């Protein structure tokens, strides 16, 4: 709902980000992916397969949805994508299915498997890995370049995202700011660190992430760390609540005892953990949960749907 899981997504490195073309090179497009691999396109691609939900959504944000001929099983926004062929997922792409679609370009993320095999079969494969706000911004610029759009097309969309993020920040009640927060992205458990776009979202909302930086974007954490930090609020997919009481010491956490839990329905969690056009929607989902909890006064756990 709103302006999980480590089947996830989304995605570092500014190396995939190309400068704007000059007037003499509009027809040909030359890019370098986040993996350092060069991509040469004789012209803007008409047939695109996306193996990552974030980039599927970004393509559509730039009004290029009609160029998509195939998507991964997790791409579910906008709803018009339901009519497109599904070619597996990032971890298990359907190679034969992709070949049948005869794409001019395949968009992938860092976690996508079989990139080299796709290249060996003669396909143009562009890896875009974006894990921070700046990298998502640059990813939009790169995709505008792919589709021979002016840079301003990407910049306008980014400004809209930033405006919506600012609105979400303003909507968070003052008493809820500076709360300590634990955001779990999957039950192993993996958590959002300050180095991730999601960690940056928490920071923008003036929430204090208990996970230290320097461990990667979504590190696997020792459950004892959460016990030690004893956060004010815990956020996760509602499905993760099942094994919460099985973790030593977690039943004593104040967030658990006081039911200060933001439990996101799967479709909402998917929005929150994707670095892309709906980051502001994800931020709003977090704000809505905290607002429903009315300053974390005595309430029950909220399931945001």
List pLDDT tens digits, range 150-209.
999 999 999 999 999 999 999 998 877 899 999 999 999 999 999 999 999 999 999 999
Give the per-residue pLDDT at 105. Answer: 99
Give the per-residue pLDDT at 305. Answer: 53
CA distance linking residue 152 with residue 160, whole number of Å: 12
**3-state class (DSSP) for residue 273:** coil
| pLDDT of residue 294 exceeding 70 | no
| pLDDT of residue 296 exceeding 90 | no
Give the per-residue pLDDT at 292. Answer: 84
Give the per-residue pLDDT at 298. Answer: 36
Q: What tokens appear for 17 in the block?
A: 């980000």
| pLDDT of residue 2 exceeding 60 | no
**3-state class (DSSP) for residue 175:** helix
CA distance linking residue 140 with residue 275, whole number of Å: 11
| pLDDT of residue 262 exceeding 70 | yes
For 179-235, the three-class secondary structure string (H helix, E strand, C coil) is CEEEEEEECCCEECCCCCHHHHHHHHCCCEECCCCCCCCCCECCHHHHHHHCCCEEE
CA distance linking residue 231 with residue 250, whole number of Å: 11
**C-alpha to C-alpha distances, 43 to 26, 35, 95, 118, 282, nearest whole angstrom:** 8, 22, 24, 20, 35
Q: Report whether 168 contacts 3 (CB < 8 A).
A: yes
**3-state class (DSSP) for residue 302:** strand
CATH entry, 14-157, from 1.10.10.10, 3.90.1560.10, 3.40.50.1980, 3.40.50.720? 3.40.50.1980
| Rounded mean pLDDT, 123-141 | 97
List pLDDT tens digits, range 73-103.
999 999 999 999 999 999 999 999 999 999 9
Give the per-residue pLDDT at 24. Answer: 36
**C-alpha to C-alpha distances, 217 to 132, 139, 230, 257, nearest whole angstrom:** 9, 17, 21, 28
Q: Which of 10-14, 60-64, 201-205 has the lowest mean pLDDT?
A: 10-14
| Rounded mean pLDDT, 254-282 | 94
CATH entry, 172-304, from 3.40.30.160, 1.10.10.10, 3.40.50.1980, 3.40.50.1820? 3.40.50.1980
Q: Report whether 114 contacts 57 (CB < 8 A).
A: no
Give the mean pLDDT of the chain. 88
Look up residue 247 and give its DSSP letter: S
| Rounded mean pLDDT, 277-296 | 87
**3-state class (DSSP) for residue 295:** helix
CA distance linking residue 246 with residue 61, whole number of Å: 42
| Rounded mean pLDDT, 248-263 | 93
Buried-exposed string 47-59: b where 16+ CB fall within 10 A, e elsewhere: ebbbbbbbbbbbb
What φ, ψ does residue 122 adopt, rounded to 5°? 95, 10
Higher pLDDT, 13 or 28: 28
Fold agreement (14-157, 172-304): yes
Give the per-residue pLDDT at 88. Answer: 97
CB proximity list for 23: less than 8 A, separation 6 or greater: none
Sequence spans of domains, the chain: 14-157, 172-304
């Amino acid at each position: 709902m709103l302006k999980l899981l480590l089947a996830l997504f989304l995605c570092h490195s500014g190396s995939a980000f190309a400068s704007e073309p000059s007037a003499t090179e509009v027809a040909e497009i030359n890019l370098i992916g986040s993996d350092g691999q060069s991509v040469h396109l004789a012209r803007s691609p008409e047939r695109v397969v996306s193996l990552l939900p974030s980039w599927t959504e970004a393509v559509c944000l730039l009004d290029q949805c009609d160029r998509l001929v195939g998507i991964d099983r997790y791409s579910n926004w906008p709803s018009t994508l339901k009519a497109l062929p599904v070619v597996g997922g990032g971890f298990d792409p359907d190679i034969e299915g992709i070949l049948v679609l005869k794409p001019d370009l395949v968009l992938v993320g860092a976690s996508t498997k079989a990139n080299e095999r796709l290249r060996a079969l003669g396909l143009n494969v562009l890896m875009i890995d974006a894990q921070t706000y700046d990298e998502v911004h640059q990813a939009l610029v790169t995709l505008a370049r792919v589709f021979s759009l002016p840079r301003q097309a990407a910049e306008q969309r980014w400004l809209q995202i930033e405006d919506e993020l600012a609105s979400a920040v303003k909507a968070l009640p003052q008493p809820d700011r500076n709360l300590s927060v634990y955001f779990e992205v999957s039950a192993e458990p993996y958590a959002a660190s300050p180095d991730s776009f999601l960690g940056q979202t928490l920071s923008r909302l003036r929430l204090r992430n208990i996970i230290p930086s320097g461990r990667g974007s979504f590190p696997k954490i020792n459950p004892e760390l959460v016990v030690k930090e004893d956060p004010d609020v815990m956020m996760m997919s509602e499905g993760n609540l099942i094994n919460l009481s099985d973790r030593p010491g977690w039943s004593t956490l104040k967030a658990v005892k006081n039911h200060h839990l933001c439990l996101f329905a799967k479709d909402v969690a998917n929005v929150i953990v994707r670095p892309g056009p709906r980051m502001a929607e994800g931020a709003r989902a977090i704000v809505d949960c905290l607002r429903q909890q009315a300053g974390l006064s005595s309430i029950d756990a909220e399931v945001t749907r």
